[in-house]
Chains A and B, each alone.
Chain A
Amino acid sequence: MSANAIELRDVHKSFGKTKIINGVSLAIGKGERHAIIGPNGAGKSTLYNLISGRYEVSSGNILLNGEDITGLRPFEINRKGLSRSFQVTNIFHNMSVYENVRCAVLWAAGYRYSFWHRVGGLRDVQQRAEEVMEKIGLARRRNVLAGTLTYAEQRALEIGITIAGGANVILLDEPTAGMSRSETARAIELVRSVTEGRTLIMVEHDMGVVFGLADRISVLVYGEIIASGTQEEIQANTAVQEAYLGAAHKELADA
């Protein structure tokens, strides 16, 4: 029985006296596409920050592929095969698209802190970066300064940086936030193709995206998981309907 990709065991997180995450336990299997939904302020971003090491847990354990990663620093977790994107685009604004992607490739390609390799001559890095840029559809914009890209392009680059290192567990934080319908459709396709064969955890508000992509869904309300299961199970769950779907109930029923 292979280990789960991600496992949270009774995770708590407080900032001072404010409890944000209140005993979350979750298991996500390898290759699964899992969505986390919930009202604003439920603690979804905090949960991400805990998993990726940006914040420290107040108590509880987080396991990655069976290994305890509680308390490790972000770069250590990243090196173990977990990568995340950000809700607010977090790219290297002063570098070109190509350079952005290349930064994400360097460590995984094994070059570490080398100051004796000429980065322009590294064929493997170049090739990998080209592949990623092709996948995210920015190959023709490779020399454009990342800060001057359009919003949707920046979101695509965001995803590109996240997957470039070849991580097996990918966390996407609202990948389609702020996108139009057509942009969202393209983003869904992009996410589907780049996470082929990998484990995907996704925070999303757009139910269309969630139901289109996710195998299983968890609902986070006030720092607790109140339901976890397939699309049908979630739609039928009365607690979820009460707590979350008041106005969005109609959207769920129609989806």
Chain B
Amino acid sequence: MRYEPLNLGRWIVWGAMALVFIVVPLAFSGGFALTMLIQMGTLIIFALSYNMLLGQGGMLSFGHAVYSGLGAYLAVHTLNLIGKGAFPFPVTLLPLIGGFAGLLFGVLFGYVTTRRAGTTFALISLGIGEMVFACVLMFPGFFGGEAGVSTNRVVGQPFLGITYGPAIQVYYLVATWCFLSIVAMFALTQTPLGRMANAVRDNPERAEFVGYDTQKVRFLQLVLASFFAGVSGALSCINFEIVSSENVSALRSAGVLMATYIGGVPFFLGPILGAIVFIFFAVALSGFTKAWLLYLGLFFVTVVLYAPGGIVSILLMQIPVLRAGRLRELLWPYALAAGAALIAMVGLIGIVEMVYRLSEQGASTVLNVFGMSFDARTTAPWIGFALILAAGIVALRFASRLVGARWGAIQQDLLARQP
């Protein structure tokens, strides 16, 4: 809880964040980096809106891409209208159009989906997602079928000389909307609705007994979240200049779920970190290997199994240890564990890539990695990588036990020291 004395701290934190947004493209310049930053910014908004449902409202949705996708569709058509001169609307404010569409469908679908909670809600959201996806393919007139609807973002009146042609301008557009969205969504957590959404998440029965209709709380939370999802959809439309059925696909919904979870659902910052890691993973890795979706899935399942609070939870756990000055005792065990994990990963990647080489029609069966080449048709590399994987797993078990022991010892000491 924040109390008045922290007022100055609040301004410093937000100011620092704004500064980061402004300065980061100067540190990471270049087309490739800029692409990643723009996508990160868009996904941050999307993931934060997703966490309004899951982290704050306790609603697990498998179909959140519906709101961002439909927002993107409305945005792309609006953009085309602007381009034809039929609708004088500033491109800078296009995300509002996306948000509006998201909001509209949030009201429409939210009414149906929030009638149930928990697992049923999750399944219904999946069903709605599939339904919208199927509908999009059914009406190629508006949705452009599988090819989608393309557009040009350099249209309409330039805003203070900004045409959004160069990527750097798109970045600052996304960054501004991202910053504003973060502020808005954080502010929402500090409202009566935001607080009661938490209450409904933790104990829906008690929330009813203090006078709140849990269904209405969830409905409103979903409507607000879908607004921001629509905003992110419009930004995606501006960035890629195309919107297709992929924008409302189950894969998109899965992606934002994974990004949010990897970052850390219980924390406001979680989705922000998760979005950054996810885009980095996706964009950087997809250039190196075709099996990146598999690796992403493995990473996600690992997080679910071993770090259900996400990366943020792992980082936060280190803080009391750091404060007690005992983090350096963990550095060696952590390094050992990281090394073991690396070895295991090398083995796994080798096997996966070789399987890939064998199954893909028309690909060469030779794997070129680390400057060496292995033919997937021979048995030697298989045995080699399998041994490396096994060795890595054994080393990882040993290392994790070491980490566990050290961690336990430190925790005991910290507990003993408490007044």
Contacts and interface: CB of A to CB of B under 8 A. Distances in A.
Interface string B188-211: 101111111011001101111111
Contacts of B224: 115
Given A90-B203, A161-B206, A161-B210, A99 B195 contact: yes
A200 to B, nearest CB: 17
Contacts of B213: 73, 75
Contact of B193 (A84, A108, A115): A115
Interface stretch (A33-41, A117-125, A205-213): A117-125
B205 A90 contact: yes
B37 interface: no
A106 B209 contact: no
A86 B205 CA distance: 11
Given A96-B1, A99-B1, A99-B195, A107 B211 contact: yes
Contact of A91 (B188, B194, B203, B216): B203
Nearest to B203: A92
B416 interface: no
A19 interface: no
Contacts of A91: 203, 206
A113 B209 contact: no
Nearest to A84: B209
A126 to B, nearest CB: 11
A164 B206 CA distance: 13
Nearest to A111: B192
B220 interface: yes
A113 B192 CA distance: 6
Given A113-B196, A115-B220, A75 B212 contact: yes
A212 B198 CA distance: 38
A116 B191 contact: yes
A92 B206 contact: yes
Task: Tell me the interface secondary structure of chain A in the complex.
Answer: loop
A91 B297 CA distance: 37
Interface in A15-70: 52, 54
B202 A93 contact: yes
B26 interface: no
Contacts of A230: none
Contacts, number: 98
Contacts of B2: 120
Given A98-B1, A113-B196, A78 B211 contact: yes
A91 B207 CA distance: 9
Given A106-B195, A113-B217, A118 B210 contact: no
A114 B209 contact: no
Contacts of B198: 92, 94-95
B200 to A, nearest CB: 10
Contacts of B324: none
B202 A92 contact: yes
A103 B199 contact: yes
A79 B211 contact: yes
A74 interface: yes
A162 to B, nearest CB: 8
B409 interface: no
A92 B199 contact: yes
Contact of B191 (A95, A108, A115): A115
A104 interface: yes
B117 to A, nearest CB: 14
Given A113-B216, A117-B192, A143-B1, A103 B209 contact: no
B187 interface: yes
Given A90-B203, A95-B198, A120-B2, A114 B193 contact: yes
Interface of B: 1-2, 187-188, 190-196, 198-199, 202-203, 205-214, 216-217, 220, 224
29 contacts: A52-B209, A54-B205, A73-B208, A75-B213, A75-B214, A78-B210, A83-B209, A84-B209, A90-B203, A90-B209, A92-B198, A92-B199, A92-B206, A99-B195, A103-B199, A104-B210, A106-B195, A107-B211, A108-B211, A113-B192, A113-B196, A113-B220, A115-B188, A115-B191, A115-B224, A116-B191, A120-B1, A120-B2, A164-B210
